[in-house]
Amino acid sequence: MNIATKNLPIAEEAAAILERLGVERAAYTGGDLKAFSPITGEQTASLKTVTASDAAAMINRADNAFRAWRLVPAPKRGELVRLFGEELRSAKSDLGHLVSIEAGKSPSEGLGEVQEMIDICDFAVGLSRQLYGLTIATERPGHRMMETWHPLGVIGIISAFNFPVAVWAWNTALALVCGNSVVWKPSEKTPLTALAAQGILERALKRFGEGPEGLAHVLIGDRAIGEVLVDHDKVRLVSATGSTRMGREVGPRLAKRFARAILELGGNNGGIVCPSADLDMALRAVAFGAMGTAGQRCTSLRRLFVHDSVYDKLVPRLKKAYASVSVGNPLDGGALVGPLIDRLAFDNMQKALVEAKMRGGTVHGGERVETGHADAYYVKPALVEMPAQDGPVLEETFAPILYVLKYNDFEAVLADHNAVGAGLSSSIFTLDMREAERFLAVDGSDCGIANVNIGTSGAEIGGAFGGEKETGGGRESGSDAWKAYMRRATNTVNYSKALPLAQGVSFDI
Ligand code: NAD
């Protein structure tokens, strides 16, 4: 936490951070988009939003910038991202604190989000010297066949409130080293962190000095501005993170104009606790996965299947952890569970709990915790023992609800685990090698992330991140996710004096 601003009212704290990061006051005063902190429910700022024509003009400028940037050698582009990483390091405590103010995260999670941004910069700098294609054996003598990766164009980024800046950085760091420009539509619930992050990138651009004008933009506004980005023909890829509802709208619009999509949508993540599990480890992993970030991570644990033989050993301990976890202002006293983002999130949580009860669920927790702030929504995390997986258990409710179910047959629990729409993250707790390997095998978990003896949340940037089915199928961050931000050309060169045709075809004229 930044000592200099610690005791100020929350709006002033936010303004002081923005000022230190070089964001002009005019950008967040006197505008039409109100920003709030879920910590107290207070308004923090009112931001100027962009119009559809402003957004189109920015996209056109980004397209011009792309045409120059793609000619800059990739390792040189990596130098810009290296500087961005340096700027993030020096702004880490301020930006992390702003993430806490705007998204309600604990200080360590706010800082962790900025650390993820730094990590992806480091990854992308190395990548800037490794954007290589294959040389492939050709059937024709005197020929060489290879693939070349070229920059794609303007990359649109749409992000959700719960990772207000890390997801943008995952996309931006890769997009920039790959030779693209970026236009970002952040969540309307977390616009101040967006201004701050954009300001940090602009500092890096200034130090770099040689980047074309208009390489990175931020569009402050609501979903209508997101739609401009989705529909603009110069935006070649949209990486959209948010609810499955949003993906259902965005995906077909992109497909209609043959633009690429990376869809990172909702999760309904499951964990299985087997008879041989290390229960102390499972307890800690489940507690963090289900209650951490107040259940507002796309990878939060939402369904827990516990084997009959260990149910009575694990679940009472879990209930105890639920009953005693600290809920409250995460910046003031170090509560582990902070606020829900807003009233809508609270209402959705209560609705799901009522439905769960109607279906025979036993609810522990879930009630509102009063903090003296009428517009801040703190809740006791809810653990719900369910007789069967149906109703609200099948859907993602973006709040701290953990549905706990008993199982006694491994094949049946694998089938139940996979019997939901989403396919993001999953985990199994077992010391039995056969169960662990089976969970990771072709007929095991159907998710994009499948873990053994680790919870569902808290991914590292080195792996590709994303999920299957209603999670959208997109991958971003590490591994070879960079390929989505480039176009592949297959090149065949004939250095012989003949013109043999492939597949033995003859065409003699
Ligand atoms: P949301 O879908 O309400 O909004 C996400 C973003 O999409 C916002 O910027 C919003 O303005 C924009 N948007 C909404 N409709 C749009 C449209 N029709 N066209 C263009 N833009 C549109 O999500 P949220 O409440 O901010 O975030 C929570 C959700 O995000 C949860 O479902 C969570 O699981 C998901 N999420 C997924 C991942 C992942 O990597 N899979 C990561 C974080 C969050």
Beta bridge partners of 362: 385
Q: What integer pLDDT is reported at residue 334 of this predicted model? A: 78
Q: What integer pLDDT is reported at residue 62 of this predicted model? A: 98
Q: Quote the crossing angle between the two packed helices 107-127 and 74-103, to the nearest 10°.
A: 170
Q: Which residues line ligand 1 (CB under 6 A)?
A: 158-163, 185, 187-188, 222-223, 226-227, 230, 241-243, 246, 249-250, 264-267, 298, 396, 398, 424, 471
Q: What is the pLDDT of residues 450-497, one digit of tens each?
A: 999 999 998 999 999 999 999 999 999 999 999 999 999 999 999 999
Q: What integer pLDDT is reported at residue 458 of this predicted model? A: 86
Helix, strand, coil distribution of the chain in percent, nearest 5: 45, 20, 35
Helix (H, G, I), strand (E, B) or coil at 231: helix
Q: What is the pLDDT of residues 302-355, one digit of tens each?
A: 999 999 999 999 999 999 999 999 999 999 877 999 999 999 999 999 999 999
Q: Cα separation of 68 and 486, whole Å?
A: 16
Residue type, 438: R
Return mean pLDDT, the chain: 96
CB 376 within 8 Å of CB 339? yes
Tokens 């909702």 sit on residue: 266
Q: What integer pLDDT is reported at residue 434 of this predicted model? A: 98
Q: Where are the alpha helices (DSSP H) in 297-454?
A: 308-324, 343-358, 410-418, 433-440
The model's pTM? 0.97
Q: What is the pLDDT of residues 362-385, one digit of tens each?
A: 999 999 999 999 999 999 999 999
Task: Report which of 364, 281, 274, 350 is spatially closest to residue 319, judged by C-alpha positions.
Answer: 364
Q: What integer pLDDT is reported at residue 3 of this predicted model? A: 36
Q: Cα separation of 273 and 287, whole Å?
A: 13
Q: Cα separation of 20 and 414, whole Å?
A: 51
Asked whether the ipTM of the predicted complex exceeds the cut of 0.90, the reply is: yes
Indicate if the pLDDT at residue 2 is higher than 90.
no
The two beta strands, 486-494 and 464-465, are unpaired
CB 377 within 8 Å of CB 104? no
Which residues contact residue 54 at a Cβ distance below 8 angstroms, ignoring those fewer than 6 apart? 219
Indicate if the pLDDT at residue 425 is higher than 80.
yes
Quickly state the pLDDT bin for 210 (edges 50, 70, 90): confident
Q: Which of 162, 248, 347, 349 to mutate to test the pocket of ligand 1 (most atoms within 8 A of CB)?
A: 162
Q: What integer pLDDT is reported at residue 7 of this predicted model? A: 59
Q: What is the pLDDT of residues 228-284, one digit of tens each?
A: 999 999 999 999 999 999 999 999 999 999 999 999 999 999 999 999 999 999 999
CB 194 within 8 Å of CB 186? yes
Q: Cα separation of 124 and 483, whole Å?
A: 12
Indicate if the pLDDT at residue 4 is higher than 60.
no
Instruction: Please report the atom of ligand 1 found closest to the CA of residue 266.
Output: 34
Task: Report which of 188, 189, 193, 271 is spatially closest to residue 224, judged by C-alpha positions.
Answer: 188
Quickly state the pLDDT bin for 6 (edges 50, 70, 90): low
Longest CA–CA separation in the chain, Å: 88
